[in-house]
Amino acid sequence: MKREITCINCPVGCRMTVELSDDGTFLSVTGNTCPRGAKYAQQECTVPTRTLTAVIQVPGSPVPLSVKTASPVPKERIFEVMQAISTAEVSLPVRAGQVILKDVLGTGSDIIATRSLDT
Protein backbone atom coordinates (compact mmCIF):
# COMPACT_ATOMS: atom_id res chain seq x y z
CA MET A 1 0.00 0.00 0.00
CA LYS A 2 1.34 3.45 -0.93
CA ARG A 3 0.56 6.83 0.59
CA GLU A 4 1.53 10.29 -0.66
CA ILE A 5 2.37 12.93 1.94
CA THR A 6 3.98 16.38 2.02
CA CYS A 7 6.75 17.10 4.49
CA ILE A 8 5.90 20.13 6.65
CA ASN A 9 9.29 20.74 8.22
CA CYS A 10 10.62 23.34 5.82
CA PRO A 11 9.52 25.45 2.81
CA VAL A 12 10.87 22.94 0.27
CA GLY A 13 7.76 20.83 0.97
CA CYS A 14 9.05 17.51 -0.41
CA ARG A 15 6.35 15.22 -1.79
CA MET A 16 7.07 11.80 -0.30
CA THR A 17 5.75 8.34 -1.07
CA VAL A 18 5.41 6.02 1.89
CA GLU A 19 5.24 2.24 1.50
CA LEU A 20 2.99 0.59 4.09
CA SER A 21 2.32 -3.13 4.69
CA ASP A 22 -1.27 -4.39 4.50
CA ASP A 23 -1.77 -3.96 8.24
CA GLY A 24 -0.54 -0.37 7.95
CA THR A 25 2.98 -0.88 9.30
CA PHE A 26 5.51 1.64 8.00
CA LEU A 27 7.98 0.03 5.59
CA SER A 28 9.87 2.72 3.67
CA VAL A 29 9.76 6.26 2.33
CA THR A 30 11.05 7.90 -0.86
CA GLY A 31 11.07 11.49 -2.08
CA ASN A 32 12.44 13.12 1.06
CA THR A 33 15.51 15.32 0.67
CA CYS A 34 16.72 15.02 4.24
CA PRO A 35 16.29 12.74 7.31
CA ARG A 36 13.77 15.08 8.91
CA GLY A 37 11.35 14.16 6.14
CA ALA A 38 11.75 10.43 6.80
CA LYS A 39 11.15 10.90 10.51
CA TYR A 40 8.03 12.96 9.87
CA ALA A 41 6.69 10.43 7.33
CA GLN A 42 7.09 7.56 9.79
CA GLN A 43 5.44 9.47 12.62
CA GLU A 44 2.61 10.70 10.40
CA CYS A 45 1.87 7.17 9.09
CA THR A 46 2.00 5.44 12.47
CA VAL A 47 0.65 7.79 15.16
CA PRO A 48 -0.36 11.16 13.71
CA THR A 49 -0.93 13.70 16.49
CA ARG A 50 -1.89 17.38 16.61
CA THR A 51 -1.85 20.17 19.16
CA LEU A 52 -5.37 21.58 19.40
CA THR A 53 -6.27 25.13 20.36
CA ALA A 54 -9.73 26.55 21.08
CA VAL A 55 -11.60 29.15 23.10
CA ILE A 56 -14.06 28.71 25.97
CA GLN A 57 -16.70 31.24 26.99
CA VAL A 58 -16.27 32.27 30.62
CA PRO A 59 -19.25 33.77 32.50
CA GLY A 60 -18.50 37.38 33.45
CA SER A 61 -15.66 37.84 30.95
CA PRO A 62 -16.12 39.81 27.72
CA VAL A 63 -13.19 37.92 26.17
CA PRO A 64 -13.25 34.13 25.82
CA LEU A 65 -10.45 32.03 27.33
CA SER A 66 -7.95 30.61 24.85
CA VAL A 67 -6.75 27.07 25.64
CA LYS A 68 -4.55 24.34 24.15
CA THR A 69 -3.74 20.68 24.63
CA ALA A 70 -0.59 20.58 26.77
CA SER A 71 0.75 17.81 24.51
CA PRO A 72 -0.44 16.68 21.07
CA VAL A 73 -3.49 14.37 20.89
CA PRO A 74 -4.21 11.62 18.32
CA LYS A 75 -5.42 13.19 15.11
CA GLU A 76 -8.52 11.01 14.84
CA ARG A 77 -9.78 12.25 18.21
CA ILE A 78 -9.64 15.96 17.36
CA PHE A 79 -13.43 16.46 17.10
CA GLU A 80 -14.15 14.50 20.30
CA VAL A 81 -11.60 16.62 22.17
CA MET A 82 -13.13 19.83 20.73
CA GLN A 83 -16.52 18.63 22.00
CA ALA A 84 -15.09 18.00 25.47
CA ILE A 85 -13.49 21.45 25.52
CA SER A 86 -16.75 23.13 24.52
CA THR A 87 -18.55 21.67 27.54
CA ALA A 88 -15.85 22.68 30.05
CA GLU A 89 -17.00 25.07 32.76
CA VAL A 90 -14.57 27.76 33.83
CA SER A 91 -14.90 30.60 36.32
CA LEU A 92 -12.85 33.75 36.83
CA PRO A 93 -10.06 34.40 37.52
CA VAL A 94 -7.91 32.17 35.32
CA ARG A 95 -4.09 32.08 35.23
CA ALA A 96 -2.19 31.22 32.05
CA GLY A 97 -1.01 27.62 32.34
CA GLN A 98 -3.88 26.62 34.65
CA VAL A 99 -5.29 23.14 33.96
CA ILE A 100 -8.87 23.40 32.68
CA LEU A 101 -9.50 19.68 31.97
CA LYS A 102 -7.21 17.00 33.31
CA ASP A 103 -6.26 14.09 31.02
CA VAL A 104 -8.92 14.97 28.47
CA LEU A 105 -10.85 11.82 27.37
CA GLY A 106 -7.98 9.64 28.63
CA THR A 107 -5.59 10.93 25.97
CA GLY A 108 -2.97 11.69 28.61
CA SER A 109 -3.06 15.38 27.65
CA ASP A 110 -4.39 18.20 29.81
CA ILE A 111 -6.29 21.18 28.45
CA ILE A 112 -4.53 24.31 29.75
CA ALA A 113 -5.24 28.05 29.60
CA THR A 114 -2.99 30.05 27.25
CA ARG A 115 -3.87 33.43 28.74
CA SER A 116 -4.94 34.92 32.03
CA LEU A 117 -8.37 36.42 32.69
CA ASP A 118 -8.99 38.62 35.71
CA THR A 119 -12.28 39.23 37.44
Partner 1 sequence: MNETYVDILVIGAGPAGLAAAQAARESGIENLLVLERENEPGGILRQCIHNGFGLHRFREELTGPEYAQRDIDAVRAMGIPVECGCTVLSVSPERVVTCVSRTKGFRVFRAGAVILAMGCRERPRGALCTPGTRCAGIYSAGTAQRFVNLEGYMPGRRVVILGSGDIGLIMARRMTLQGAKVLACVEIMPYSSGLNRNIVQCLEDYGIPLLLSHTVTDIRGRDRLEGITVSKVDENRNPVPGTEIDYECDTLLLSCGLIPENELSAGAGVRMSPATSGPMVSESFETSVDGIFACGNVLHVHDLVDHVSAESLKAGHAAAEYIRGNRPGGETIPVCDGEGVRGTVPQSIRKGAAGPVDLMFRPSGVFRNASAVVENDGREILRKKAMIFTPGEMSVVTLKEENIRSLTSGKLTVRIERS
Residues that bind ligand SF4 in the complex, under the rule CB under 6 A: 7, 9-10, 12-14, 32-34, 36-37
Lateral strand order in the sheet of 99-101: 53-56, 65-69, 111-113, 99-101
Pairing of strands 26-30, 15-20: antiparallel
- Please, what is the Cα angle at 17 between 14 and 19, to 5 degrees? 150
- Binding partner of residue 32 among partner 1, ligand SF4, none, CB cut-off 5 to 8 Å per kind: ligand SF4
Quick check: 51 binds partner 1 (CB under 8 A)? yes
Which residues of this chain interact with partner 1, rule CB under 8 A? Answer: 5-13, 33, 50-55, 57, 63-64, 66, 68, 75, 78-79, 82, 96, 114-116
